[in-house]
């Protein structure tokens, strides 16, 4: 999964289709992401010393990672992500549509450096 925390994404399918938000949390094992303001659910909390009022707490729930696409920082449109090696052998994420770099994934490895 190439999406990272703090990436801006747009929901491409489901009940929240078309909404944009920032990725708050990623569950790689379950293949789900929590996006700010998307898929809000109510959690009923019992009265306690920590929460003397009790009641319903509204919070974001996870959605499948396949239902979101990264928003390209250059064009502002949803785009697919790719991985490429640079000349020094380091690996980076990039937008497939515009080719703009989104940051390094791993440090330079001489095995993948261009000669």
Each residue's pLDDT tens digit, 9-57? 999 999 999 999 999 999 999 999 999 999 999 999 999 998 899 999 9
CATH number of 1-47+56-71: 2.30.30.30
pTM of the model: 0.84
Rounded Cα distance, 113 and 100, in Å: 20
Across the chain, what does the average pLDDT equal? Answer: 93
Rounded Cα distance, 74 and 30, in Å: 30
Which pLDDT value is given to residue 114? Answer: 85
Give the domain ranges of the chain: 1-47+56-71, 79-115
Token readout for 44 is 């009923």
* Biggest CA-to-CA distance, the chain: 66
Q: What angle do CA 40, 19, 75 make, to 5 degrees?
A: 145
Number of H helices, E strands in the chain: 0, 11
Q: What angle do CA 70, 20, 64 make, to 5 degrees?
A: 65
């Amino acid at each position: 999964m190439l999406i990272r925390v703090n990436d801006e994404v747009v929901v491409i399918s489901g009940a929240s289709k078309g909404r944009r938000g920032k990725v708050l949390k990623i569950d790689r094992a379950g293949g789900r992401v929590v996006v700010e303001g998307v898929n809000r659910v109510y959690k009923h909390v019992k009265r306690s010393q920590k929460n003397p009022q009790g009641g319903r707490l509204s919070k974001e729930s996870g959605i499948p990672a396949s239902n979101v696409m990264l928003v390209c920082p250059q064009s502002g449109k949803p785009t697919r992500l790719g991985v490429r090696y640079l000349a020094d052998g380091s690996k980076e994420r990039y937008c497939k549509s515009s080719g703009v770099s989104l940051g390094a994934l791993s440090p330079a490895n001489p095995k993948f450096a261009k000669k």
